[in-house]
Chains A and B, each alone.
Chain A
Amino acid sequence: MAQVPLAAGLFSWPSDDPRLLGSECSACAMVTFPSQDSCPRCALTEMVSKPLARRGRLWAWTTQNFPPPSPPYAGASGKDFKPFAVGYVELSGEVKVEARLMETDPAKLQNGMEMELVIVPLGKNTDGDDIVTFAFTAC
């Protein structure tokens, strides 16, 4: 069965060294994730692609204990829904990225803890392929 990324251009895949793909403003060095065409700080349209750092520190987090109503959630829903944790990971000097966290126990999550990018299964698409997405795990 094939593994397909959640969206094209979001992270390098397949890869032994996967990176989130952001963008950087050529004029003011503002970094965004995902990549976008215009700079949210200086409003110029001179963004260039930038692979982001793999490691960072947890900045804020919570848990998602009920199935997100937003259509369509790509993970298992209904009875098969599994609660997950989500947080912002600060990639030093670049950007804070909102991502799923592999640790879901509130007792084990702490702001400032070091985390590393991983690519993980999220669910299946209509062709039966495994959708993979980005997440961070403690390291």
Chain B
Amino acid sequence: MNPEVAIIGVGLHPFGRFAGLSGIDMGAIAIRRALADAGVEWRDIQFAVGGSYEVDNPDAVVALMGLTGIQFTDVYNGCATAASALALAAQTIRLGDHDLGLAVGMDKHLPGAFSADPRNYACPSWYGEMGHFITTKFFGMKINKYMTDHGISHETLARVAAKNYRNGVINPNAFRRKALSEEEILNSAMLNYPLTQYMFCSPDEGAAAVVLCKAEKAHLYTDTPIYLRASTVRTRRLGAFEVHSPWLPIEETVGATVDASRAAYELAGIGPEDVDVIQLQDTDAGSEVIHMAENGFCPDGEQEKLIAEGTTEIGGRLPINTDGGLIANGEPIGASGLRQIHEIVHQLRGTAGERQVPGNPRVGYTQLYGAPGTAGVSILSL
């Protein structure tokens, strides 16, 4: 199928901690960088979709950009917020409502694990009072079971985290830019067995923006359009093992990531064997391991060997989280998925600098996952 939507510009405000800058300020900076990258002006933009958790109204960014009266839709969809923003922007172009628009994500979180009122997640209050309403515990439980069922070692978890910190060192936009040894990672404080402190990402601050246009008009703006071949969002089905579940049925089925991934491959007419560079949701090192299989890149259990052999490093056959992923960048929820897109676009253009995957990658893949069982997948190609 001919591509219908092209990405012509990407922009990022670095991820980390920025006293004195609001989420909206960072959103405006990311937008200006994406516009400059695309070679278009704010007044050319016909519509926008904005994603955030902490910022009630991302569309307030128009006060900093210019009051041009455009259609601006705000979305929040947990850790898959940016995937929803991107999917909606692509749909708006495919439907023919507009030809040129942007998706932007921004956030400014306090340090520490996310918390909320359980009742807003359709969970009873007692679930929080009992100390169960916490995402990190779910990730600990899921990888602990996965390790038992599929023979994954603690060392593999440490290797994944160490790789992402190493990739962060060569990413000037990353939050964590210090290499950590596998020993330091394994010996840091145990938070949720088997996951230690340095195996987890942290909520932080940042923004990212993507300029999209109708594919057939992309040549007006750039010689290297990156086509968005699929952008899917799925929620959990009955029997999936998902975050914030006071109970699970006896019957079991695959998670939201698997559903979003299969749908994206089918829409794109592209299979996992065609993908050259990959971004996966590494809320923790265990999630990256599980998501390799859930997104079709290997059978369950093969990660142990693949990771030991360096397959997921920048120079490997399956380069994963080349910019350091969430572990090195942290997670400003609204922006996180558009950071993934930013990295893939640079990789496919061949402009990723020190992080460039060799061999002229042509197809890229991104995946987000979060509470309460929502996943987003995008497939991009030259």
Contacts and interface: CB of A to CB of B under 8 A. Distances in A.
A130 to B, nearest CB: 14
Contacts of B137: 62, 64, 68, 86
B128 to A, nearest CB: 4
A70 B141 contact: no
Contacts of A63: 140, 190, 192-193
Interface string A56-77: 0001111111111111111100
Interface string B127-162: 011111110010011101100100000000000000
A67 B148 CA distance: 26
Contacts of B141: 60-62, 86-88
Interface residues of A, number: 45
A40 to B, nearest CB: 6
Given A70-B115, A95-B249, A98-B247, A86 B189 contact: no
B134 A96 contact: no
A72 to B, nearest CB: 6
Contact of A97 (B142, B241, B247): B247
A14 B64 CA distance: 61
Nearest to A73: B131
Interface string B79-119: 00000000000000000000000000000000011111110
Contact of B192 (A40, A64, A75, A88): A64
Of A63, A64, A70, most B-chain CB atoms within 10 Å: A70
B248 interface: yes
A52 to B, nearest CB: 10
B238 A62 contact: no
Contacts of B246: 33-34, 97-98
A78 interface: no
Interface size class of B (residues with CB under 8 A): 35 or more
Contact of B247 (A65, A86, A96): A96
B222 interface: no
Given A70-B118, A70-B133, A96-B249, A60 B193 contact: no
A89 B246 CA distance: 11
B142 to A, nearest CB: 7
Contacts, number: 123
A131 B247 CA distance: 21
B128 A71 contact: yes
A79 interface: no
A19 B132 CA distance: 20
A94 interface: yes
A80 to B, nearest CB: 13
Contacts of A62: 137, 140-141, 144, 192-195
Contacts of B247: 22, 32-34, 88, 95-98
A61 to B, nearest CB: 6
A66 B192 CA distance: 8
B271 interface: no
Given A22-B247, A40-B238, A100-B131, 7 more contacts: A61-B145, A65-B191, A65-B193, A68-B134, A70-B134, A74-B129, A111-B148
7 contacts: A61-B141, A62-B140, A64-B137, A70-B133, A71-B117, A95-B248, A96-B248
